[in-house]
Every structure is written in C-alpha cells, then in structure tokens.
C-alpha cells in the first residue's frame, strides 16, 4: 500500500534558518559597500536605509537588512603600537591598520549564507572587544560601511553595489570633533592632532581616490533624502525581483519521512525527467 502523500512546496535551497538561505532563497545576499571620509555620514546613511526598509525594530535574527562596520576589522595592535595609539601616534586611517584577510573571509562567508560572528570595536582602548561579539544572521541585504571598504581590490570586487558618501571636509571635521570627544573618549587637542597628522592625509591618499569605484555618489550624506530614497527604491526592486525568481524556482517534494519507490511517486512523476531526479519547473 502506498502512503497518502502530502505535497509540500519548498524553495530550492530551503534551510534551517527561517526557511531561507541568505534571506533570498538560494541566492547570495545583495552586498552594498558604503564608503566616504570620516564622519561623512556613512553610518547615518546606512541607518536611514534600514529605517526606510522597515528594519530597525525587527529582531536581529529576522532582519532582511543588516549593517556591518569596517571598524570591526581593525587588526590587533602589537604592544608598541598600543603605546603609540595611546599617544595619538598610530595611523588608524592607513590600510595597514586593517585585517584585510579577515574582512574578505567574513564577507565571503556572508555571501555563502553563513552566520558570522564579529567582535565590536572599542575606540577608547583602540582594540577589538572579543567579549562583545556581534552575530550576523543571513540577510537579504548586507551593508558594509567604512573609510576604506573600496580600497582593497579583493574586498571591493565582492560588492554588488558601491555607494560613496561625499560630505565636504569642513563639515566632516566639525562633526568628528564633538563625536570623538563625546563618544570616543578624546580631547580636542588629540582629535585635531590626529586629524592633521593622519586622518586628513590618509583620506587624500587612500579614501578619496576610491570614490571613482562608486556606482552612486551621495553628496551631503543623510541630508540627501532624494538620493537615499532612490537607493532604497533600487534595493526594493532588486529584492522583489529576487523574490519573484525564487518563487518561480519552487518545486514540490515529498516529506522526508515518506519513502517511495520512484515509479510510484505522483510527486516524482510531476517533476521528474524520468531519471528519478526532481526538476525545476520551467
Ligand atoms: N546629516 C547630518 N546632519 C547632522 N549631523 C549628522 C548628519 N549625518 C551625520 N551626523 C553626525 O555626524 C557624526 C558622524 O556621522 P556618522 O554617520 O557616524 O559618520 P561616519 O559613519 O561616516 O563616520 C555623528 O555624530 C552623526 O550623528
Ligand atoms: O582606535 C581607533 C580606531 C579608529 N579611529 C578613527 O576612526 C575613523 C573611522 O571611523 P568613522 O566612523 O568612519 O569616522 C578613522 O578616521 C580613524 O581615525 C580612531 O580614532 N581610533
């Protein structure tokens, strides 16, 4: 006797986490790089995008859009470098300050649909906080923001879309000073010295030249609501298309607990090319 079959429609790459892989079934997340000088508004632009896509109040495990800061990929400093950093003599705006390998590997893991764990960054102590780990769950859209996200070719080529937040340097300095004093434990003299010795020259040498790689340049950062709305609209269209494509790729399968011989399987007959393999509908 054949068991009664319950047909169930699943997506091609149905997985354990919320029934989806990368948020978009069987597809890598849409990876967006967001660069720009210090205090240009990168994080604020990302926050606006998340807000407009209705993500801010969503539980972390369920988010369709997530944002990661490149600052979580600063490399560990040697003891002598820590001493330099404490005296304001370490260049945190130079590409060598970052762990390029880990950055690339983590983004590749994200693109492969893996859950990744990254430490947070402690600006006061110039070090990664391995006691405060962020868990990044698979999402449909991943924003990766930082001053040098387009600098490293191997990282740059992973992005599906590249944004550059272009805010003039006076405005950036005027925003960095209070932020670093209020949030990052600096005093005025330290902020200005670091800016003149490292931040400004490194911006000109390493960050600004990467603007040419951007698909979209956002003048005035988060003030530019027109640009942000257009980007959000574009992301929505991409997500809708991917969703539509994944629905077209659905197949019918038999519940795993039911074992059938191929010739007697209505489900198989409906989807089989005669070789016992399920086929995608055309
Ligand atoms: N459009 C804006 N108007 C006023 N303040 C802003 C604006 N965008 C950002 N800021 C402030 O400037 C500082 C730096 O912004 P942030 O988004 O953190 O820049 P980044 O991520 O590029 O370093 C923050 O204190 C933020 O609140
Ligand atoms: O220990 C540190 C690490 C980094 N910085 C500065 O941070 C900015 C990058 O962050 P933004 O949010 O893009 O401004 C970079 O310019 C570094 O100088 C630091 O001061 N101390």
Ligand nearest to the backbone CA of 201: 2
Both tokens of 262, joined, read 């191929």
Both tokens of 157, joined, read 């080529």
DSSP helix/strand/coil, 224: coil
Predicted TM-score (pTM) above 0.90: no
| pLDDT score at 258 | 36
With 0-12 / 13-18 / 19 or more C-beta atoms within 10 angstroms meaning exposed / middle / buried, residue 33 is buried
Q: 251 C-alpha vs ligand 2 centroid, how far in Å? A: 48
Q: 């604020």: which residue's tokens?
A: 44
Residue 220's alpha-carbon distances to 22, 184, 258, in angstroms, are: 32, 23, 59
| pLDDT score at 160 | 94
Q: Whose CA is nearest to atom 14 of ligand 2?
A: 38
Run of H or E residues at 183: helix 169-183
How many other β-carbons are positioned within 10 Å of the β-carbon of residue 10?
Answer: 12
| Separation between Cα atoms, residue 152 and residue 125, nearest integer Å | 26
| pLDDT score at 249 | 64
Both tokens of 156, joined, read 């740059």
For 28-77, how does the pLDDT look when each residue is reduced to its tens digit (9 = 90+)? 899 999 999 999 999 999 999 999 999 889 998 889 899 999 999 999 99
Which of 92, 187, 189 has most ligand 2 atoms within 8 Å of its beta carbon, as the pocket-test mutant?
Answer: 92
- Given the cut 0.95, state whether the ipTM is greater than it: yes
Which of 34, 37, 38, 88 has most ligand 2 atoms within 8 Å of its beta carbon, as the pocket-test mutant?
Answer: 38
Cα–chain center distance at 264? 46
Ligand nearest to the backbone CA of 47: 1
| pLDDT score at 112 | 97
Both tokens of 143, joined, read 């924003």
| Separation between Cα atoms, residue 107 and residue 274, nearest integer Å | 40
| Separation between Cα atoms, residue 161 and residue 34, nearest integer Å | 9
- Residue 207 Cβ inside 6 Å of ligand 2? The answer reads no
List, for the chain, all residue ranges whose pLDDT scores fall below the cut of 70: 1-26, 249-282
| pLDDT score at 277 | 29
| pLDDT score at 239 | 79
Q: 83 C-alpha vs ligand 2 centroid, how far in Å? A: 17
Q: Whose CA is nearest to atom 14 of ligand 1?
A: 39
| pLDDT score at 21 | 37
State which ligand 1 atom lies nearest to the alpha carbon of 145. Answer: 21
| Separation between Cα atoms, residue 89 and residue 198, nearest integer Å | 9
| pLDDT score at 245 | 78
| Separation between Cα atoms, residue 230 and residue 245, nearest integer Å | 23
Q: 């990044």: which residue's tokens?
A: 136
| pLDDT score at 8 | 30
| Separation between Cα atoms, residue 113 and residue 107, nearest integer Å | 10
| pLDDT score at 113 | 95
């Amino acid at each position: 006797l054949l068991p009664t079959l319950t047909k169930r429609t699943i997506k091609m790459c149905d997985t354990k986490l919320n029934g989806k892989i990368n948020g978009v079934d069987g597809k890598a997340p849409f990876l967006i790089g967001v660069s720009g000088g210090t205090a240009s508004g990168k994080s604020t632009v990302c926050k606006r995008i998340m807000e407009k896509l209705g993500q801010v109040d969503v539980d972390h495990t369920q988010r369709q859009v997530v944002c990661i800061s490149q600052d979580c990929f600063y490399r560990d400093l040697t003891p002598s470098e820590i001493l330099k950093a404490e005296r304001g003599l370490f260049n945190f705006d130079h590409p060598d300050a970052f762990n390029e390998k880990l950055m690339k590997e983590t983004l590749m893991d994200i693109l492969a649909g893996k859950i990744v764990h990254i430490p947070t960054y402690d600006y006061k102590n110039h070090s990664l906080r391995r006691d405060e780990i962020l868990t990044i769950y698979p999402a449909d859209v991943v924003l990766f923001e930082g001053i040098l996200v387009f600098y490293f070719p191997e990282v740059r080529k992973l992005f599906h879309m590249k944004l550059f937040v272009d805010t003039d340097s006076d405005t950036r300095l005027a925003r960095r000073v209070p932020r670093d004093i209020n949030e990052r434990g600096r005093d005025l003299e330290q902020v200005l010295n670091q800016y003149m010795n490292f931040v400004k020259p490194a911006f000109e040498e390493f960050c600004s030249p990467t603007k040419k790689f951007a698909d979209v340049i956002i003048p005035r950062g988060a003030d530019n609501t027109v640009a942000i709305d257009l980007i959000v609209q574009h992301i929505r269209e991409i997500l809708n298309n991917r969703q539509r494509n994944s629905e077209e790729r659905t197949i019918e399968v038999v519940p795993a607990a039911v074992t059938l011989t191929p010739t007697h399987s209505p489900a198989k007959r409906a989807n089989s090319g005669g070789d016992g393999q399920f086929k995608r509908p055309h």
